[in-house]
């Protein structure tokens, strides 16, 4: 099933260094969807970026396959676990393809996460398992990188007013804090 969509700017080449690092990372993609009752669900999955879609694999019989349908709206977060955080958030539509055996996307992601030898061992252990390929067609995306946030790159004097010596000695009131509104 083809879903026509224009790739969000943050996912268009050339990718920012932040987005590139996340798409090549070993952190899982966290897939979010609503189940049949409308309750939100989330699951971590390995992923592969194709340049236009995000591919996630799940095993046949998993609960998410009972709850997801082609063209359902989903959200994905790929984010670091260490502070200061980097994150990539994607919204889009999913298409689902049943696969006999492991998806090639899963095998490629396993190599990225584990390295060649361990990935081969892992995939060999899963021989006989069937998967489904979840293809996310991005319609919206945003990224953040705390390292490049303005409040980390500006000198403190540019962000906050520093009291003068007279103000510190109590001859006048401290200047108002410009960001708290006090």
Q: Is the pTM of this model over 0.95?
A: no
Identify any residues that bridge with 79 across adjacent strands, giving them in sequence order.
87
The structural domains of the chain, ordered by start, are 9-147 (2.30.110.10), 149-182 (no CATH)
72 has a pLDDT exceeding 90: yes
Kindly write down the DSSP assignment for every residue of 76-131, as one continuous string. Answer: EEEE-SSSSPEEEEEEEEEEEEEESS--HHHHHHHHHHH-HHHHHHHHHHTTT--E
User: What is the pLDDT at residue 172?
Assistant: 42
At CA 133, angle to CA 131 and CA 136, rounded to 5? Answer: 155
pLDDT at 75 over 60: yes
Q: What is the pLDDT of residues 14-64, one digit of tens each?
A: 999 999 999 999 999 999 999 989 999 999 999 999 999 999 999 999 999
Strand partners, 75: 32, 91
Structure confidence at residue 164 (pLDDT): 55
In whole angstroms, what is the distance from residue 92 CA to residue 96 CA? 13
Other residues' Cβ atoms within 10 Å of the Cβ of residue 50: 9
pLDDT per residue over 107-159, tens digit each? 999 999 999 999 999 999 999 999 999 999 999 999 998 766 655 555 444 45
């Amino acid at each position: 099933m083809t879903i026509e969509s224009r790739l969000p700017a943050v996912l268009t080449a050339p990718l920012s260094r932040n987005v590139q690092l996340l798409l090549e990372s070993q952190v899982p993609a966290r897939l979010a969807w609503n189940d049949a009752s409308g309750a939100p669900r989330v699951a971590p999955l390995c992923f592969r970026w194709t340049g236009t879609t995000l591919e996630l694999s799940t095993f046949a019989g998993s609960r998410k396959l009972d709850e997801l349908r082609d063209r359902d709206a989903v959200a994905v977060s790929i984010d670091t676990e260490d502070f200061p955080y980097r994150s990539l958030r994607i919204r889009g539509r999913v298409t689902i393809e049943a696969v006999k055996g492991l998806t090639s996307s899963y095998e490629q992601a396993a190599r990225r996460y584990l390295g060649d030898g361990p990935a081969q061992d892992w995939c060999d252990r899963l021989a006989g398992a069937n998967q489904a390929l979840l293809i996310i067609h991005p319609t919206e995306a945003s990224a953040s990188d705390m390292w490049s946030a303005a409040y980390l790159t500006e000198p403190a004097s540019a962000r906050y007013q520093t009291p003068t010596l007279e103000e510190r000695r109590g001859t006048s009131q401290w200047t108002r804090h410009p960001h708290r509104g006090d």
